Structure 1
Amino acid sequence: MADELHHRSLLTGREREIFQLLVKDQTTKEIAARLGISEKTVRNHISNTIQKLGVSGRAQAIVELLRLSELSLD
C-alpha cells in the first residue's frame, strides 16, 4: 500500500495531458480543439493545477511539475 501511495500522481490524467501540451508550446485554444473541450475548461484545469502546487503561474507550475517528475519534456 505504501508503494501505491508513493507512485500516486499529483495530477489528474486531463491535467497531465494539458500540461504536456503546454510544454510543447500549444496555446489554450489549440489544446481545447485537440482535446475537444472548451478553452474555459482548459483554463480551469490549469488554474486547479496552479492552486494545487501553490505557485503563481503556468511557467512556475511547469517548472515545479518537472522538478517533481510529474511532467517530462519528451
Structure 2
Amino acid sequence: MLSERAHHRSLLTGREREIFQLLVRDYSTKDISIQLKISEKTVRNHISNTIQKLGVSGRSQAILELLRLGELSLD
C-alpha cells in the first residue's frame, strides 16, 4: 500500500520548487536566474504563476502558504 505522501500531488512544478527554495535562502531574482541559468523574466514568471495558483498577493505570502501546506521547507 502506498503511503499518504505518495498519493500527494505537489502544487509546484520542479522549477517552481527550486525557485522558492532559493527565495527562502534569500537569493534575489538575479541570483536565482544565474544559479538556474534562466532569465530573470522567467524567474519572475514562475513566481507569478505560483502566486496565482495559491491565490495570494505576493512572494512573502506565497512562501508562508507553501510552508503551511508542506510544499516548502526551511532546510
The letter of the residue matching 1:66 is L
Task: Write the deviation string for residues 9-59 of structure 1: whole angstroms up to 9, x where unpaired.
Answer: 000000000000000000000000000000000000000000000000000
Aligned to 2:55: 54
- Gapped regions of structure 1 (runs ≥ 5): none
Aligned to 2:26: 25
Q: What is the distance in 2 between the residues matched to 1:49 and 1:66? A: 13
Runs of 4 or more off by more than 2 Å in structure 1?
3-6
Count residues in correspondence: 73
RMSD: 1.5
Residues 33-72 of structure 1 correspond to what in structure 2 (within 5 A)? 33-72=34-73
Post-superposition offset of 1:7: 1.4
Q: Calculate the TM-score normalised by the size of structure 1.
A: 0.93
Q: Calculate the TM-score normalised by the size of structure 2.
A: 0.92
SS at match of 2:73: coil
The letter of the residue matching 2:26 is D
Identity of aligned residues (%): 79
